[in-house]
Amino acid sequence: MTEKTENKEASVQKLIVSSSPHAHSGASVRGIMLDVIIAMIPAMAASVFYFGLDAVRLLLACVAASVVTEVASRKLMARDKGIGDLSAVVTGILLAFNLPPSLPTWMAVVGSIIAIGIAKQVFGGIGYNPFNPALVGRVALLISFPVAMTTWSEWIIPNPIGIDAVSTATPLGLVKTSLGAGKGMPFVFDSATAWQFFMGHTNGCIGETSAFALILGGIYLLWRRCISWHVPVFYIGTVAVSAFLLKTLSPGTNMPVAYHLLAGGLMLGALFMATDMVTSPITKKGMAIFGIGCGLLTIIIRKWGGYPEGVSFAILIMNSITPLINRFTRPKIFGARKK
């Protein structure tokens, strides 16, 4: 039916007839996305606070490129409904959060195009993408431009002991190299440093450094029922427990637990990336399995993998088995008969 005839018919006072229910909670996809954006405001503020104009530049570039790509691809595929649901904005911000501050603008744009164009719209748009678009964008950039994606701003954490104060390392990368070479922790990681890390005054991608800001956002999401506690708690819990076990078994070659939690992208990943509705399981049990899987993979990649950071890959790998998790965690129905 065209819109014109619909309007004409509406003017003669016809009743609307639909299937029940005739009441609705008022929740909408747009509302959820708006909540996610609101939840990211503290982290955005932190990124601007610590990285200045670079953060603003990347955020703007990613959001603009994501929205433009979304509109263009919807048009290209002759599909209706575009950016009204704000999901492209969310993807743009998340991608920017995952970029180092010195990354050239054009690379951020390329990442956004890959995230929205390839990871999302090729699969049919919102709801159909098997992988978290922002993570796909980040990983594509990491593989395509490894140097730019691992070049960080000047060293801002305490001076490393015995190692050249390289400006091109994240805390995780630096420590991994040092531990791998059998030299122990390259700097003193005491409670003062931990607090500094927690607040976000450290090297890293623009949105991942401030655990404090991210947790604030996470609490907002929980309060608004946009995420359930299962994924973050099981994810972070698994990382903490495994890190503790590793540290206890071999204290000399492993990082402290708090370092695992605060020095990388874990908080951003566990609170904002792994909780992405589309690509994570729908049942509570499934979410728990998903979180544990992400946690184990993160630790494995960080400890034994080629990259210092494993959060992105861990979540992407778990994304791929989400349909399987859903299938095997279907709840037992009310009144299920014993077989």
Q: Where along the sequence are the contacts to other proteins (CB under 8 A)? A: 1-2, 5-6, 9-10, 13-25, 27-29, 31-32, 81, 85, 124-128, 225, 228, 277-284, 287, 326, 330-337
DSSP classification of residue 115: I
Closest CA to 139 of 264, 310, 318, 306: 310
Closer of 126 and 266 to other proteins (Cβ) = 126
Min dist CB 106 to other proteins, Å, is: 31
| Shortest distance in whole angstroms from residue 282 CB to other proteins | 4
CB of 9 to other proteins, least distance (A): 6
Rounded to whole angstroms, how far apart are CA atoms 155 and 172? Answer: 13
Report in angstroms how near the CB of residue 313 gets to other proteins at its nearest: 22
Cβ closest to other proteins, residue 9 vs residue 190: 9
Nearest CA to 256 out of 171, 163, 157, 162 is that of 171
Nearest distance from C-beta of residue 122 to other proteins, angstroms: 14
Measured from the CB atom, is 17 or 147 closer to other proteins? Answer: 17
Cβ proximity to other proteins, 15 vs 249, nearer residue: 15
For other proteins, the closer CB: 19 or 250? 19
Phi/psi at 60 (5° precision): -65, -45
Nearest CA among 246, 272, 256, 135 for reference residue 197? 256
Least Å distance, CB 176 to other proteins, is 35
Q: What tokens were used for 175?
A: 């420590």
- Residues 163, 178 contacting (CB under 8 angstroms): yes
Closest to other proteins by CB, 1 or 53: 1
- The secondary structure of 325-336 as a DSSP string is HHHHTPPPPTTP
d(CA 111, CA 66): 9
Q: CB count, 10 Å around CB of 60?
A: 14
